[in-house]
Each structure stands twice: as C-alpha cells, then as structure tokens.
Structure 1
Amino acid sequence: MELDRLGRKLLLGALRLKDAGEVWARIRAYGHVYDRLETHLDLPYLDDGTRAHRLDVYGDTQRAAGPVLVVIHGGGWVAGSKATNESQAKYFASCGLRVVNINYTLQPETDFAGQLADIFAALDWVAAHARDYGFDMDRLFVTGDSAGGHLALLTALTASSPALQEYYGVRAGEWRIRAVAVSCPASDLRGDWSQAETSFRLLGTLLFDEPRKGAEYARMASIEYVLTMGELPPTFILTTSDDTLLYTRTRRLHEVLDERGVAHRYREYHAQSRARLQHVFNVTNPEWSESRQANTDILTFFNELQP
C-alpha cells in the first residue's frame, strides 16, 4: 500500500535514518575489504519467490564444518533488509564464522508471529543445508540489532518454550540456538505508544493498528514479560549511552536479566575516536574503531562458548 510506503519513509526520517541510502552505500563500500570471501547470495529459504524470504551465506564452506551465525537486521520491524548488515556479516565471516544474513517479511504486511515464522523457516533452512555449507549446528549463534535484536531474543525464547510456540503458531526444528548477541535491542513493547514521541507514535500505529493487537499482544512480544516462559541461552548485550533511541530500555533489560539470574554479558561502549557513537553503531559504521571492538567482543563471547 502507498500509505505503508509513506509511513516507512516518515519513520526512517523520524528515527534519524533519513539518509539510509547513503548509510547503506557507505556500508557496501566498506565491504570491499571482504570481496574475496566465498558468497552465496539471494538464496530462497521459502520457495514463494519473494525477496523477503531470501538469505545470503558468507564464509569458507569448503573446509571442515564451523560455527554458524544467523544475522537478523533491524529497522523498527517495518523497514530495512539484509543489505543493512552486509559489511558486519562479511566481517564475522572473515573471522571464521559461516554467516547467514536473512531477510524477513516486514510489518504491517505481517505481524510478530509472521516474522517469527520467517526466522524459524530460515533456521530450518540452515539445519537442512548444514552439510552443503559447512554449518556446525552444535555451534549455532544468532545476532540482531535494534528491532532485529528483539526478534533474535524472542526467537531464542520461543524456540525453548512450547507455550510461546503455541501462541505464535511456530514449531522449533532440528536446531538449538547456542548463544545470542544483540546490539541496542528493543525489548519491552508494553505501554501507551500514543503518548510517545512522534517517531514512536508512528511506529506504534504501524505495529498495533488492529483491534486484536492490544495489551496482551504487546506483552507477549515483550522480552521482560516472556522471560519466565522460556529459557534464554547465553546472551551478549551491547549498547552506548549515545543511543538516543533505546539506551534506557536496553540498560533496563540488562537489569531485569540480572535480577532474574539469566546468564548474560553486558557492555557499554563510549566514543573514543569521534565525538559520539549512535544507535547500532557497530552495524551502521563497522569501520569505526569502537565498532571493531564491539564486533570483536561478540566473537570472543561466541568463542568462549564453543565446545
């Protein structure tokens, strides 16, 4: 719908991503460092012909099986694509991971259940093609940023929870998520979105505009609320106090995990090579020294968990 496209453009501007085309061009340009990586692009994980159900695979798939990282892009659940995370995905692949960078259906064309169904289908594809691409399914990791971080956490919790699988109409396949890493994640969707600042009011309209999407729907999509319904694997959370969108909520997620004894590692990064950082800096600006440190810390976290 034209209104949906207009809404996304307005949202991108409100979220200070109005120059998203320029940002993505810079990300792709920086990606030339990794041009020699083995790549398999736009592979369908569902055979319906839509771009929303395609993924890219990066890494040396000809050698012995290695750890696999599934990347879930951000964009407020309503925008973005795997292209946003291309350079970060290539970086992780250059460090020895097999990386699967996925698209998924955006809202309001679908809802959280539909997005989880897409991610579960992508994970099923990874499991089914483990031998083809050298994926070690005993070392399956998931990462996401912003809204993608929320979906990564919700995916991990749902995969371990029959109750959440029933609620969302999905079923975990022959895979188990070993660990999760999230950058500046959204987590708590409860509250009155109509009273939020302009950008979040618009986002709330796109996410919760149908009568059935009431308080229960928002609660069941909130990580803090569903924590007790599933088991979160070891989790790495990174943020920066320069994140004007989600810093407070990300820090609160860390505090809730601490209170409930959920194993996780929390890191805040501070600007050293520039005046300030920003929301999901390690994805939008992977060339920054702070971003390289954050992405290296994610790798270290994964390596510590490998059998």
Structure 2
Amino acid sequence: QDHIRGFLSIDDVPYRIPHEFAVGYFFNRQDWLSERGLSVPTTWEEMVEVGKEITDAENGVWATTDGLIKPALLYVYVAYLTAQAGGKVFEFDEGTAEALQFLYDMIHTHKIFPEEALNQDYTAQNNLYMGDKVGFMRQWPFFQGVAEGNEDWYAPEKMVISLPPAGPAGSKSWIGGWGFSVPTYAPNPDGARELIRYLTSKEVAPELAKQQGFLLTPRYSILEALADTGDELIAAMGLYADNDVFAPRAFHPRVAEAQTVVDDMASLFLTNQSSLSEVLEQGKQLIAALDQ
C-alpha cells in the first residue's frame, strides 16, 4: 500500500528494513464474558455497555485499562483511539477530540477505566489483566509471550484476540514498528550494516520471531518457518489484515517532541486541568511551533 511504501522508502529507494510488526492487539477474557452471557464489544458504544456489566470498582475490577504514564505511553493509547476516530493525532483535529473525549468518558463518566492508569506502565497493566482485574484491553504483541510464560494462570480462553472496538472510522490499530536504521554519526556504520544483514537474514529472522512477538513480521520466510507452530499472533495478524485494521503510524519530522505535546495536552484534559477546546487549541500551537 502507498503508506507502507512511503514508510519504507524515499523516491522509491528503500531505506528502512522493518524488523517488527508492532500492533496493538485487543485481548479479551472470553471466559469472563461467556460466564456472564456477554459478547466481545465490537464498537465504542458496546465497550461502555459491556464494560458497565463487568466493572466492580470497589473490588478493583475494571472493564478495560492501559498503561498511560508519561512519557510516551499516554500518547500510544490516544493515537490508537484517534485512528479509530479517523483523526490525525498531531493535528489535534476533530478525530483527536473524539478520541480524547471517549477516553475521558471511560474514566470519569462511565467509570469503566481506572484513573490510576494515568500513573501506570505496561507491567502494571499486564499484572492487572493477569490478576483477573480486567476484562479486555489493548496491548502490544509482547503480552502474548508474557501471558504464556505465566503458566499457573495462562489459558487460551483468557487471551482471545479479537478486532478492536470500532470508533467512528472503524476498527483500527496503528503499526508501531520503525525498523533498523544506522545513525549518520554511528561510530561503526559498516559493522552496524553487517549486523542488520545478519539479523534480517532468512535464517536468523525466523529464529528471532519465535522468541519475541515484536519481531514477528508478515514476511514469507518468517511465516513459512512458523506456519505449523500454532502461533496465536500469526492468526491475529491474518484476522486484522482481512478486516483492514492496520493503520499507519502518525508521522512528524520531530516525532519525539510531537508525541510529548500529545502526552501533555491529553494529561491536562484527562486530569481536569484544562478543557477539551483549550488543549486542542494549545496542542495545535505547540505542534506549529515545532514546524518553524
């Protein structure tokens, strides 16, 4: 697709070798839902409806959560919801506004998402899920391996991957993998290039993918090597591809600083320090300043 070619090349000359296919998958506790006669939510509205049936705040049980601590993790989830709203997160547009409002409502209005998540990382998020405190959540592919490694807790019905609940623009999840690159002032560029050639070879890349879900990419040599392993992430990748879930990662020339702007503005709104209109306007101004 055009956005993939643009992501990997300049003037049709490839310059980036992708080493991962990091996508936020939607994990759900199928066992919980079945016990309660509930279905996996397929839309934002259903997330709220099902979430209210699951949440038991007094006992620390929540419909959903994420790791939202700054820096960067809050941005990840806001960008995820913004993709589902059809927005461009660095433009602080209407889609970004819808995403921020939905997250705010899950936390403060519907109370199905713990406010404490604003101070939690992915380890805390995963521990809540594996501690039987969360019904469904978005998480990067590494969580599959983490959960399977928790042998006393793991069961396939606790880790069912389904399509992300659809927002106004549909069921979407952005691709987070950037790939290998050699910095301009790298002290040993030739050695770095040789290492990249080795890690991405047909012989080595499949072995790495077996060990780490982040390194599982839709590459023929990798998928062929793992075809008969029963890898849950391969099935999930196919499900998401068939349903046009994958969305491009938001781009900005000064991406780290732009992500910080989103982090800061989202935090102000979600902690009731600024209104939605204020953070949208200030966000636009701060992004514009980066472009000067």
Superposition TM-score, scaled by structure 2 size: 0.32
Higher strand share: 1
Q: Considering Cα pairs closer than 8 Å and 6+ residues apart, tell me whether 1 or 2 has the greater RCO.
A: 2
- Larger Rg computed on CA atoms: 2
